[in-house]
Chains A and B, each alone.
Chain A
Amino acid sequence: MSESSHYAPGTHPDLPPPARTTGMVGWVRGNLLSSPLNVALTLLSIWLLWSILPPAIHWLFTEAVWTAKDRKECWALMDAPRDAACWAFIRGSFELFVYGWFPEPERWRVNLTFILFIAAIFGGLRENIPGKKYWLIFAAAYPFIAAWLLLGGFGLEPVGTNKLGGILLTLVVAVTGIAFSLPIGIALALGRRSKLPALRGVCVIFIEFIRGVPLITLLFVASTMLTYFLPPGSTFDLLMRVLIMVTLFASAYIAEVVRGGLQGLSAGQYEAADSLGLSYWRAHQLVILPQALKISIPGIVNTFIGSFKDSVLVLIIGMMDILGLGRARLNDPDWLGLAPELYIFISLFFFISCFSMSRYSLSLEKKLHTGH
């Protein structure tokens, strides 16, 4: 390489970086082996993954049984009984787990509800979509459309609330809580920041009470005490009572998130709105709420994810959501003792739903971020 010395100063062509700092090798050196401590941590991690992953894959996939008529047949198909997962149990009851007891010929309504749900979410939250206004109206009307599709009436076969079960019931509880808690939560947040002491007091007491007790005590109230509160001789659908409780619970949390958003706005925004002569409602509608809600989106989505996960608690009062129904199926004499399969299936369902929700909120956050 003696020629290199013939270059005049400043004329040497750029050389590629040393091989050890680029490509695969460079990446490994920089990210896994940069110091003795890091080498040790990497080795530890690899050992951890090695001791967990192969047995897990073996149990979950390679050795698992997908078709069998009962657990005895499942065991017979494995190297040793209980050596791997028996997914045949989940497969056999899959329709029940998804639709509950919804009458079979009417199940297209459930499917339509699912599809419209996704459309409402995407259409309602997308910024640059043609006909944005109509999408928003559709999203706001969605809960009512869904209620009509699921419960029937007005030309559709009526279906009782007790026919809802499994994933369908989980979604009904979660989506109702999500849809109705937002307006109530915003109202509560505004009430808590109101200048009128009586109104503020009522909102503070309500929010702090709801946030101070566990959801399952509220559900117990819904299932045991609420009937005492109603006029004598009247009854009230259990699902409706539970939905009210779930909504109230979520709205108290939403209220706190929105309050944080309202406090995050600088006083200048309020003053600017006032100086334009806008009334309280116009100011909130045009200036305050659009900004405050934008700041609160991550918090709101987190609350939604929380109430989605909390919806499994309805099993404690004997309702047949996905977990309750699954546990009832565990009593089938043909399929006793398959709890691990059930719990893995349900975990996966929740993970996929909640994780995609949180990813979506992240991308939305980035899109809405109009920082200066």
Chain B
Amino acid sequence: MIQPAPSTSNPLLRLWRNQESRGVIIQILTMVVLFAFMAAIARNVVINLEAVGKEFSFGFLLWPAAYDIGFSPFLEYTNQSTHLRAAVVGLLNTLLVAFWGCILATMLGFILGIMRLSSNWLVSKISYVYVEFLRNVPILIHILAIYSIVVTLLPPAKKAINVGADAFFLSNRGFYVPSPVFEDGATFVGIVILISITLVFFFKRWAHRTQDETGKIYPVLWISIAILIALPGIAFLATGAPLSWDIPVLKGFNFKGGMAIKPEFLALWLGLSMYTACFIAEIVRAGIVAVSHGQSEAAFALGLRPNRTLQLIIIPQALRVIVPPLCSQYLNLTKNSSLAIAIGYMDITATLGGISLMQTGKEMETMLIVMGVYLLISLLISAFMNWFNHRIKLTER
């Protein structure tokens, strides 16, 4: 196969035939082409913006936004607030729905995945049909359909379902629950809660070390729960129960007081979680199937009880298979939350990338910020999941 390199007197051709110098040439060419491309775009942008008389600046962020946002649970926001504040409100709403979405999707996904592996034929088939149907339909349709179900099937505010205790109400204006009001002494209780969490942390480490050294096993879970309930409970009673509840009451058009889960949030949350759960179910199923039978048999042979087997043998090994694809599902869920715009949930795409863009005409600036924000969120989630994956990964000795 090896032929003598054809001799050539052309030095350029010789340079090209040499593997190392060819690499350098290719890289230089790539960079030149890339920079030329970028420069051309930058030049076009400048010329085009000038032609329509627009200027590239982020100054609009400090102008008053002049529109209202219906759902701002964390920040005070009025129509006199700035576009920047509207963007932050949107960002917080994005994070809120993504966070709860990931949690619910994981729970549903595990349930569906385990149902799929059930020895009960009917249960396994129901899970199968559910998963296959939901994951083959675009998520936008899920969200639109769930929203219209929530709005049309739940009763209006005046006929709200009294879920319990005259304090929890469900209607198509949202799910109203009492909100806590902290009084004097609540800070002290808060500090005690922090202290008990720290205590539990150290107790766990101590118990783990003791088990390694002596083989003695403490019921860590039960003791931890006892600490977490007893200490704050005593502190709470000692300070004279510094907590009251703000109970929602129907007044005029709407419920006043309390906290509300709005139907827009509900529809987006359910839509995102139910859709993503189908993918997680498949991941979980694959993860559990991947742990070989020999592992659980070996654990039984060692005399471990079934729940200890699950906890110590099956789950840690299944997680290693599950976590990387789970991470990309979390990323997908977060990105899909941008579909909030279709049902009027005010996330960052709907505030900054929607109404602010409309009112100011600053397409470039708003879209750059929105994309940057999503990029940042994605990188943060990836970093966290990488760290988590690193922690649970197989340590080969």
Question: Are any A and B Cβ atoms less than 8 Å apart in their complex?
Answer: yes
Evaluate contact between B379 and A351: CB separation under 8 angstroms.
no
Check A195 for interface membership: any CB of B closer than 8 A: yes
Q: Tell which of A224, A228, A305, A354 has the most Cβ of chain B within 10 Å.
A: A228
* Residues of A184-243 whose CB lies within 8 A of B: 195-199, 202, 208-209, 211-217, 220-221, 224-225, 227-232
Q: Is the CB of B367 within 8 A of A221?
A: yes
Residues of B within 8 A of A312 (CB): 138, 140-141
> Which 3 residue pairs across A and B have the least CB separation, nearest first?
A31-B121, A354-B136, A212-B378
A217 to B367, CA, bound (A): 7
CB distance from A83 to the nearest CB of B (A): 14
Residues of B within 8 A of A34 (CB): 119-120
Contacts of B353 in A (CB 8 A): 217, 220
A323 an interface residue at 8 Å Cβ cutoff? yes
Contact among B45, B48, B140, B371 for A313, CB-based, below 8 A: B140
Q: Mark B346-358, 1 if CB is under 8 A from A, else 0.
A: 0001000100010
Complex Cα spacing A305 to B132, Å:
13
CB contacts (< 8 Å) of B363 on chain A: these are 220, 224-225
> Smallest CB–CB gap between A173 and chain B, Å?
12
Q: Give B128-154 as 1s and 0s: 1 = Cβ < 8 Å from A's Cβ atoms.
A: 000011001111110011001000000
Most buried by A among B49, B122, B331: B122
CB of A63 within 8 Å of the partner chain: no
Interface residues of B in 378-395 (CB under 8 A from A): 378-379
Per-position contact with A for B7-48: 1 when CB-CB < 8 Å, else 0? Answer: 000000000000000010011101100100000110011011
**Among candidates A46, A199, A202, A225, residue contacting B364 with C-beta atoms closer than 8 Å:** A225
Q: Which of B23, B139, B338, B339 contacts A196 (CB 8 A)?
A: B23
B118 at the interface (CB under 8 A from A): yes
On chain A, which size bracket covers the interface? 35 or more
Excluding A196-B27, A213-B375, A220-B363, 15 further A-B contacts by CB distance (< 8 Å) are A31-B119, A31-B121, A32-B120, A34-B119, A42-B122, A198-B31, A211-B378, A216-B341, A217-B371, A227-B48, A229-B41, A305-B136, A310-B138, A316-B342, A347-B145
CB pair A350 B375 closer than 8 Å: no
Give complex CA distance A91, B339 in Å: 29
A209 to B379, CA, bound (A): 10
Give 21 A-B contacts (CB < 8 Å), ordered by A residue: A45-B120, A48-B126, A198-B28, A199-B26, A209-B375, A211-B331, A213-B335, A216-B341, A217-B349, A217-B353, A221-B367, A225-B363, A225-B367, A228-B49, A305-B136, A309-B139, A312-B141, A313-B140, A316-B341, A347-B141, A353-B136
A111 touches B (CB below 8 Å)? no
Residues of A within 8 Å of B138, CB to CB, are 309-310, 312, 323, 350
- The interface of chain B, by Cβ under 8 A from chain A, is 1-2, 23, 26-28, 30-31, 34, 40-41, 44-45, 47-49, 51, 118-123, 126, 132-133, 136-141, 144-145, 148, 331, 335-336, 338-339, 341-342, 349, 353, 357, 363-364, 367, 370-371, 374-375, 378-379
Q: Does A340 contact B (CB under 8 A)?
A: yes
A277 within 8 A of B: yes
Q: Looking at the assembled complex, report how far the CB atom of B358 sits from the nearest CB atom of chain A, in whole angstroms.
A: 11
For residue B47, which residues in chain A have a CB less than 8 angstroms away from its CB?
232
In the complex, the answer to whether B48 meets A228 with C-beta atoms within 8 Å is yes
A-chain residues with CB within 8 Å of residue B145 when the two chains form the complex: 340, 343, 347
A195–B357 CA distance with the chains assembled, in angstroms: 43
> Which residues does chain A contribute within 8 Å of B378, judged by CB atoms?
211-213
Whether A46 touches B44, Cβ cut-off 8 Å, given contacts A196-B26, A199-B30, A312-B140, is no
Asked if A41 is at the interface (CB within 8 A of a chain B CB), the reply is yes
Whether A358 contacts B136 in the complex (CB less than 8 A), given A217-B353, A227-B48, A231-B44, comes out as yes
Asked whether A212 lies within 8 Å of B379 as measured between CB atoms, the reply is: yes
Flag if B1 contacts A276 (CB, 8 Å): yes
Q: Known contacts A38-B119, A347-B141; is A340 also within 8 Å of B371 by CB?
A: no
| A260-318 interface (Cβ within 8 A of B) | 276-277, 305, 309-310, 312-313, 315-316
Bound form: Cα–Cα A347–B339 in Å:
17
Find B1's partner among A212, A214, A277, A346 (CB 8 Å cutoff): A277
A197 with B375, Cβ < 8 A, contacts A214-B338, A216-B338, A220-B367 known: no
Q: Which residues of A contact B148 (CB under 8 A)?
A: 339-340, 343
Report A322 CB to chain B, min CB distance, Å: 10
Interface of B (DSSP majority class)? helix
Within 8 A of B (CB), among A317-356: 323, 339-340, 343, 346-347, 350-351, 353-355
Instruction: Report whether B374 and A198 are in contact in the complex, using a CB–CB cutoff of 8 Å.
Output: no
The distance in angstroms between the C-alpha atoms of A256 and B40, with both chains bound, is: 29
Q: Assess the A350–B122 pair: CB atoms within 8 A.
A: no
CB contacts (< 8 Å) of A198 on chain B: these are 27-28, 30-31
Q: How far is the CA of A262 from the CA of B31 in the complex (A)?
A: 25
Distance A340 CA – B23 CA, assembled complex (angstroms): 59
With A34-B119, A42-B122, A196-B26 known as contacts, the answer to whether A347 contacts B137 (CB < 8 A) is yes
Q: How far is the CB of B349 from chain A (nearest CB, A)?
A: 7
**Would you call B136 and A355 a contact (CB within 8 A)?**
yes
B118 / chain A contacts, CB cutoff of 8 Å: 41
Closest chain B residue, CB of each to CB of A355: B136
Q: How far is the CA of A211 from the CA of B371 in the complex (A)?
A: 11
Determine the chain A residues whose CB is within 8 A of the CB of B1 once the complex forms: 276-277
Q: Which of A34, A211, A214, A225 has the most CB of B within 10 A?
A: A214
In the complex, the chain B residue whose C-beta lies closest to that of A27 is: B121
Q: Assuming the A-B contacts A38-B119, A312-B138, A355-B132, are A216 and B349 also in contact, with contact meaning beta carbons closer than 8 angstroms in the complex?
A: yes
Q: Given A195-B23, A354-B136, do A214 and B141 touch, yes or no (CB 8 Å)?
A: no
Which of A202, A228, A230 contacts B34, CB < 8 Å?
A202
**Contact at A31–B336, with CB atoms within 8 Å?**
no
Alpha-carbon distance between A48 and B122 when the two chains are bound, in angstroms = 11
Residues in chain B near residue A343, CB distance under 8 A: 141, 144-145, 148
Question: What residues of chain A lie closer than 8 Å to B341, measured between beta carbons?
Answer: 216, 316
| CB atoms of A31 and B374 under 8 A apart | no
| Distance (whole angstroms) from the CB of A37 to the closest CB of chain B | 9
* B119 contacts across to A, CB distance below 8 A: 31, 34, 38
A346 to B379 alpha-carbon distance, docked (Å):
34
Q: How far is the CA of A277 from the CA of B141 in the complex (A)?
A: 54
- Identify the closest chain A residue to B54 (Cβ): A228
**Docked-complex contact B367 and A224, CB < 8 angstroms:** yes
Residue of B nearest to A43 (CB): B122
Residue of A214, A230, A276, A339 touching B335 (CB-CB under 8 A): A214
- Tell me the minimal C-beta distance from B132 to chain A in angstroms: 6
A277: B residues at CB distance < 8 A:
1-2
In Å, the complex CA distance between A343 and B146 comes to 11
